[in-house]
Amino acid sequence: MEDLTEIDRFLRSVLFQLSLDVEYYAKMKILKVIEVHHEDGYKIVVDFLDDLQKK
């Protein structure tokens, strides 16, 4: 039983770190796309919120 607890704890820590890495690289990719296309971040948010209100 203790072995399963150790495996669970290890798997949880690995998956948590993996999810943090995926989140970080996704944010960096989004920022890079915005930078390349010279987008205004505030305008993107305003457009997104306007689109939500329309639905």
Would you state the pLDDT for residue 10? 96
Would you state the pLDDT for residue 41? 79
Tell me the C-alpha distance between 18 and 13, whole Å: 9
Tell me the pLDDT tens digit for each residue of 1-55.
789 999 999 999 999 999 999 999 999 998 898 888 887 878 888 999 999 998 7
Q: Could you tell me the two tokens for 4?
A: 């399963």
**Measuring CA to CA, how many Å separate 36 from each of 31, 32, 39, 42?**
9, 6, 8, 16
Residue given tokens 């209100």 in the structure block = 53
